[in-house]
Amino acid sequence: MNDWINASVLIAHDIGLHARPSVKFTKLAKGFSSEIEIASALGGPWFDAKSIVRVMAIKAGTGSTLHLRARGSDAGAAIATLSGFVASDFDKDRAYAASD
């Protein structure tokens, strides 16, 4: 129960984990009861994945690897959902494409 479940995922999106995907990312994370943390290096430091202030502060740019870990009753599902979200280029987020 106290073991972390880990995953690492490459950020291929051409702008990185920027403002809009960070909003979505933390919203997804808050949907799980498990403790979830992210880091830009495997050795940490680790930050709360439910805090947009923390997630943005990592400044995970394109081509960087995002490390995720979770522990709790729904840790497996949390890791699968969040790493899937990053791997899908944040649900095919296109930065501010629509109106202009």
Partner 1 sequence: MLPAIEIRGKPASEGIFTGPVVNLGVTRLASRPARDAAVERAELESAIAAAIAAVKALAARNAGTAADILEFQIAMLEDGTLRQRALAAIKQGASAADAWWRVLENEIAGYTNSNDQNFSARGADLRDIRDRVVRKLTGQDFAQMKSGSIFVSDDLAPTLFLEADWSQGGAIALRSGSSSSHVAILARSRGVPMVIGLGEAWPNACDHAIVDGTEGLVLAAPPPALVDIYTKRSAAETAQRDHDRKFLLAPARRRDGTPVEVQLNIARAEELDRIDPASCDGIGLVRSEFLFRDAASLPGEEEQYLAYRGILQWANGKPVTIRTFDVGGDKPLRGLTAEGNGNPLTGLRGVRLTLARSGLFRIQLRALARAAIHGNLKVMLPMVILPRDLEQSAALFDRCVAELRNEGVNCARPPLGIMVEVPAAAIAPELFAKAAFFSIGTNDLTQFVMAASRDEACAAELEEAAHPAIARLIAGVAAFGRENGIPVSLCGDMASAPQHLPLLLEAGVNSLSVTPAALARVKSALSRI
The interface with partner 1 within residues 19-48 (CB under 8 A) comprises 19-20, 22-23, 26-27, 48
Q: Can residue 88 be called a binding residue for partner 1 (CB under 8 A)?
A: no
Interior/surface letters 22-57, b for 16+ CB within 10 angstroms, e for the rest: beebbebbeebebebbbbbeeeeebbebbebebbbe
Residue from 31, 44, 63, 84 in contact with partner 1 (CB under 8 A): 63
**Which two structure tokens, joined as six digits, stand for 13?**
């999106």
Judged by the rule CB under 8 A, the positions of this chain that interact with partner 1 are: 10, 12-16, 18-20, 22-23, 26-27, 48, 51-54, 56-57, 59, 61-63, 94-100
